[in-house]
Chains A and B, each alone.
Chain A
Amino acid sequence: MEVSVIRSSSQAKISKTELGCRDLRFCFGKSNDKNKIFSRKPNSVCFDSQISRFRKAGLRFTLKAVHSDPILESKSPATSKSLDRLRLFVGLPLDAVSDGNSVNHARAIGAGLKALKLLGVEGVELPVWWGVVENEMGKYDWSGYLAVAEMVQKAGLKLHVSLCFHASSQPRIPLPKWVTKIGESQSSIFFADRSGQHYQQCLSLAVDDLAVLDGKTPVQVYQGFCESFKSTFSPFIGSTITGISMGLGPDGELRYPSHHKPAKSGTITGVGEFQCYDTNMLNLLKQYAEANGNPLWGLGGPHDAPTYDQAPNLNSFFKDHGGSWESPYGDFFLSWYSSELVSHGNRLLSLASSIFGDTEVNVYGKVPLMHSWYKTRAHPSELTAGFYNTASRNGYEAVAEMFARNSCKIILPGMDLSDEHQPHDSLSSPESLLAQIRTTCNKHRVEVAGQNLASGAPGGLEQIKKNMLGENPIDLFTYQRMGAHFFSPEHFPSFTEFVRSLSQPELHPDDLPSDEAEATESVQTSSDPNIHLQTA
């Protein structure tokens, strides 16, 4: 292969030396995230060489010279699709900034950032908590997060910000105090299950547009938060900050809190419960039932659904055959329950995209991987979480369509889970569910970014690699999460190995053709800003 660059005035062949040097860069891609190469097709070599920021355009060469698109460095949605590179992010500790807006273990994070940079990681993910920033309604204190953003920028890394409108129990990061206080007198702002137990880690989606927060609706409050974020972080947005995840519910995910306790690995999780019993949800259900001419169906949720930890066959709702989920009532209820979730997602994502649409950041939303009981016909875990996805109905169509409408991308956690490591008899299948969601997203041209559920899952890294580099590769992955375990001798060496193996070119530089006699193509380019490339 020989590649020569022709400028408008003179022609200069890249000498063999330079080519050699490019080749070498490929193998050093792991140490330098700016030079990455992936040869997915046996005879094509693509590289994105951005050694200096003055070089605004990366070139893409292929042996067959089918096309050479100018690729702008910017991450605008239009071009990033064609950027044939994989970007790896690592999540910062959940409590990187906590009470009082101080940066926790800043020294450790500093060292960690340097290590990640040297390793060739693209950037880090930073959870930004509502409860940390907005201690008083409408007053925002971003100081801790600004400090982290500066550290990240200094380290030469990118930043993906997750806006968290929920609370965390471990480490404990509550909702803003003033919200909790409102909740004490007005518990209906939270979701409730059949027994009336409230889930207080995030607001119920039924109050999105109700003025329950001192005269403001939650959506208005979220909007204020996002706008303040945007103006405060404007120096970073588009340069250091390349992506923003909009918090959509429990753990930031678009779902109902159908499982109160996080699933323990290695145990079989129950089906969870429908969360439609707070006053506002019940009101919505009632209106919907009346509008559909079945007012009696609007009095409550399904009476024959099992409870949180029970298996699907314990009651009649989720039964594989003849379960009420397949009855007209079941369809009525599930349609309503899932459409409320999609509407909620739509409210928040359209808000986010209207605020951040004029910047260069991508907006993401997280969709959970409710993989338990996937091999049953009813998919109960997905149903209780709000995804009307069964053996006979693709519930992710509506979700993907909603993301597409708002030009948002989907973050899918659980890319580290493999069927093989699921408990025996659990009837769960993370791999099939992942495949289904990704196919649906492809259909709606919604880009998918990956995330793992927990570091240290057995075979997790291999599974992630499979997902990242497989037939249908993803270009952005966020690895969770920096902390003691992450850097421990039990974990970090394997992570290093993992990162190195990701950036290893499939073709060894020695095997890349470098003989000038094999000249087959040249690419023309010119120096003016409207860079123009041709194949000769």
Chain B
Amino acid sequence: MAAVTIDSLLQNPTLLFRPKAKVLLKPPRSLDCSRNRKLPLSRGSCLCSFNPRRTIHVVRASSSETALIGNFDISSSDDILYKDIFPVKRIEKVEGKFFIRLDRSKDQHDWQFTVGCSLPGKWILHWGVSYLGDSGSEWDQPPKGMRPPGSIPIKDYAIETPLKKLSEGDIFHEVKIDFNPISEIAAIHFVLKDEETGAWYQHRGMDFKVPLVDYLEDDGNIVGAKRGFGVWSGALQQFSNVLLKSEASHADSQNNSIESKDSKNKNRCLEGFYEEQSIVKEVSVGNLVSVAVRKSPETGKVVVCLETDIPGDVVVHWGVCRDDAKIWKIPAAPYPPETTVFKNKALRTLLQPKATGNRSGALFTLDEEHFGFLFVLKLDDNTWLKFKENDFYVPLLGTSSVPGQYGQSDSTSEEISSKSYTDGIINEIRNLVSGLSSEKSLKTKKKEVQESILQEIEQLAAEAYSIFRSSITTVPDEVVSETETTKPAVKISSGTGTGFEILCQGFNWESHKSRRWYMELKEKASEISSLGFTVIWLPPPTESVSPEGYMPKDLYNLNSRYGTIDELKELVKSLHEVGMKVLGDVVLNHRCAHFKNQNGVWNIFGGRLNWDDRAVVADDPHFQGRGNKSSGDNFHAAPNIDHSQEFVRKDLKEWLGWLREEIGYDGWRLDFVRGFWGGYVKDYLEASGPYFAVGEYWDSLSYTYGEMDHNQDSHRQRIVDWINATNGTAGAFDVTTKGILHSALERCEYWRLSDQKGKPPGVVGWWPSRAVTFIENHDTGSTQGHWRFPGGKEMQGYAYILTHPGTPAVFYDHIFSHHRSEIASLISVRNRNGIHCRSLVKIVKAERDVYAAIIDEKVAMKIGPGYYEPPSGSQRWSLALEGRDYKVWETS
């Protein structure tokens, strides 16, 4: 279906055309020439147009064309009304084998694990290990010493190592992994990936696991265990059987070594083994179908000659059409030999082998009134060949003027695919349109297609925008801020709120422990509001596997460790009463399952949104999702939701709407938005119409030799790209600014606070209105402390973000600490001077020990131990605030 195709395109903005190419390569197995109206976009739809001018391949194939055409008895070429060569791709299965070998390396101490594959391709071993004592089925990255050269770490749990041929003559691509059996490693896990086709080779949908230790007491019985991938099963069971047969000799060699007590108990015995498995790869093979149309001078009839070099029995499934609409009709007899009528819709003719060459063909004699000749090729019961997902179409009328017009351009195949890509979409619309013409659901279907096209357009536009934007010297936002400073922002949009928002993060990592957080926070509502905050961010409200709420399970169950749903409503009501807007922390990227699938993998959901594994992305081997590939990064600990599924999006939109209605949330803090395409966020925000929304796009900054790079443009570009994908409907936490403040303050390198163009170096320098600046949150600080702000310098951080453009966010722990009065004073300076998210910053000093800036010509500030005083010119500055290593002035 077109929708599916488009969705697959939407997932990966950077590889726009590759997924499409993959789709094209798939053998069309679902053809139904009866034009099944229930599946209007199935490849069987026949009303598609095919424009032969675009078979630019003609040029390429001209030599074979002559050869093919030459086989027909054509008295003179003048008779030919039309001829064309259609390239076809079909999938051939190539069988090969791959092996796994475990043996001792030469020095008899270390062991070597080898994986090889005999099929051609760009093979990658995607692997990880599990350690002794790991209870879950998750992978970890192997120790550095175990990684063969050329390995690339993938996130924090896997390694990708390419398979290489040891020498040219070798059949096998191999990778060897050396390891020390004394290590803590319990097993190696892997899947094979073919980079050429993007295909994954798994073991019955799971990873392969090679246990290096026999930990019977853990699983009881490895072979029969029901757990997901912690087991050997199927064809590889014998390995574990082999491994279980512990032999004294090996045990001896290990007992000689120094082992931890723990692993001694493990009865660690290794035995070498070698196992081969057959592997099947689908390879696309190109063939040609040549068609020539000539007019018989004697009978006045039109003869269509069709010939192909596809081996084996080829059946032409054909018909004619009377007009452009290309509706299949059965022409009047006579038909070629070996022709049968198929369901009154089409004819089937078996192509007859030609005397010369490995070709087969047929001649079709038709009355001249037909407009076009339509066909598809059937190779066996499952395999159909079509032209770019459409019927082959051969015009019969008015074609004499055509030759000479095509073949005018020569182009590479890549360009053809990009061309066929837009055409493909247009054809798919046509298919949908015609297939649906008699249906009542016409309007809704029409809307769906429109939406997917519009989504596609939006994504392309976003791509173009980000390139244009980054290649110009002046950032559009500057222009915006220039014009908007003259008339302060009043327009409310979900990316900015009013533009004068100040955010309070209303919880920390421990807040769930009291089990009555909502009630505790309610007590503080008026206090928080009086400090000058306009928006408060509440913790994730749903039932969750982890107490903090970030592993949601039943989205409609809002009784959590923070309190009951009624307490939550009460809290929101009190916050509204004191004039604050409330953000709900929504986790849309992943969701914990209620049930296991038949393989024992947790990927079936319960509760009101009882999705199955179609709602889970397909590219995380841990969760065996049946959805599409993820449109972003994977969060490793729970099934990632496949947002490309319409039902998922519909359900999530409904849920957000329900939260707005039922709880009274005004907006969202979106968790882990790296995990899915920003365009979906836009969709959700448009559906739920928040007052304010901010996404957590947190990835790591660039470092060289352990030292943070001055230029973090690529880091902030990724965040800006995400905001852009949401069409600016959401802001994003300015992780870049936090990171740069860390280095600047910790190492006394205040020069870092100005980028090459003299602007703030974080997101706030590029797209201030969408940057939500912060110095700490529940993950980076609190009791987790993943990335804690330099101790004792917090107020310098706040002096920066609370005087600068962007929407500042203050962490709960800092509000209710000794910093409180200083923070309150900074907020009041900000509000008094009307500093907003688009205010203009003029950096006046960015030196080793001092940074100073003037904002909107109303507020001056400096941080760092160095000296700065604002100039005593036309403006008169008076000191508004002073603290440890920071000062703030305002005009008087």
Contacts and interface: CB of A to CB of B under 8 A. Distances in A.
Interface in B450-479: 450, 453-454, 456-458, 460-465, 467-469, 471-472, 476
B532 interface: no
25 contacts: A25-B430, A32-B429, A51-B430, A52-B324, A54-B52, A54-B395, A54-B397, A108-B464, A108-B465, A111-B460, A111-B461, A114-B422, A114-B460, A118-B460, A119-B457, A484-B472, A486-B468, A488-B476, A489-B465, A489-B727, A489-B728, A490-B476, A492-B461, A496-B458, A529-B401
B369 interface: yes
Contacts of A421: none
Contacts of A493: 458, 727
Given A484-B465, A484-B469, A527-B397, A24 B436 contact: yes
Contacts of B323: 5, 12, 14, 18
Contacts of B47: 21
Contact of B464 (A53, A109, A527): A109
Nearest to A493: B727
B41 to A, nearest CB: 14
Contacts of B49: 51-52
Interface in B683-720: none
Interface string A78-120: 0000000000000001000000000011011111101101110
Interface in A285-337: none
Contacts of B360: none
A458 B415 CA distance: 39
A-B pairs, 4 with minimum CB distance: A108-B467, A487-B465, A20-B437, A115-B460
B437 A485 contact: no
Contacts of B429: 28, 31-32
B460 A24 contact: no
Contact of A31 (B426, B442, B465): B426
Contact of A235 (B408, B430, B468, B476): B408
Given A28-B433, A482-B464, 7 more contacts: A24-B436, A25-B433, A115-B460, A486-B468, A487-B462, A492-B458, A510-B443
B434 interface: yes
B423 interface: yes
A9 B397 CA distance: 14
A156 B419 contact: yes
Contacts of A24: 433-434, 436-437, 442, 446
Interface stretch (A147-155, A183-191, A422-430): A147-155
Nearest to A489: B728
B438 interface: yes
Nearest to B397: A527
A154 B420 CA distance: 9
A49 interface: yes
Interface in A1-22: 5, 7, 9-10, 12, 14, 17-18, 20-21
B325 interface: yes
A54 B434 CA distance: 20
A496 B458 CA distance: 9
A9 B465 CA distance: 55
A444 interface: no
A70 interface: no
B415 A154 contact: yes
B460 A105 contact: no
A54 B398 contact: yes
A483 B400 CA distance: 43
A111 B472 contact: no
A477 B429 CA distance: 26
Nearest to A57: B398
B327 interface: yes
A18 B325 contact: yes
A108 B457 contact: no
A12 to B, nearest CB: 6
B410 to A, nearest CB: 10
Contacts of B469: 484, 488
A230 interface: no
A370 interface: no
Given A112-B461, A114-B460, A527 B369 contact: yes
A118 B369 contact: no
A156 B422 contact: yes
A485 B327 CA distance: 44
A9 B460 contact: no
B51 interface: yes
Interface residues of A, number: 60
A488 B464 CA distance: 9
Nearest to B52: A54
B369 A9 contact: yes
A52 B53 CA distance: 10
Interface of A: 5, 7, 9-10, 12, 14, 17-18, 20-21, 23-25, 27-28, 31-32, 49, 51-56, 93, 104-105, 107-112, 114-115, 117-119, 150, 153-156, 235, 239, 482-490, 492-493, 496, 510, 527, 529
B369 to A, nearest CB: 6
B480 interface: yes
Nearest to A50: B324
Contacts of B154: none
B724 A489 contact: yes
A527 B419 contact: no
Nearest to A485: B476
A5 B419 CA distance: 33
A262 to B, nearest CB: 16
Contacts of A105: 467-468, 471
Contact of A487 (B433, B446, B468): B468
B721 to A, nearest CB: 12
A53 to B, nearest CB: 6
Nearest to A456: B479
Q: Pick the most buried of A25, A54, A117: most chain B CB atoms within 10 A of its CB.
A: A54
Contacts of A114: 418, 421-422, 460
A17 B426 CA distance: 20
A108 B465 CA distance: 7
Interface in B36-72: 47, 49-53
A23 B442 CA distance: 11
Contacts of A154: 411, 415, 418-419
Contact of A115 (B327, B419, B457): B457
Contacts of A111: 16, 460-461, 463-464, 467
A24 B436 CA distance: 9
A293 to B, nearest CB: 56
A111 B465 CA distance: 9
Interface string B399-430: 11110010011010001001101110110011
A522 to B, nearest CB: 14
A119 to B, nearest CB: 6
B426 A32 contact: yes
B569 interface: no
Contact of B51 (A5, A52, A108, A117): A52
Nearest to B422: A117
B858 interface: no
Contacts of B442: 24
Nearest to A108: B467
B322 interface: yes
Nearest to B16: A111
Nearest to A153: B409
Contacts of A115: 457, 460-461, 464
Interface string B723-738: 0100110000000000
A28 B415 CA distance: 26
A370 B401 CA distance: 48
Contact of B461 (A23, A487, A510): A487
B425 A118 contact: yes
Contact of B438 (A20, A51, A110, A483): A20
Contacts of B327: 17-18
A235 B407 CA distance: 11
Given A56-B401, A156-B419, A235-B408, A490 B480 contact: yes
Q: Pick the most buried of B16, B53, B429, B460: most chain A CB atoms within 10 A of its CB.
A: B460
A112 B457 CA distance: 9
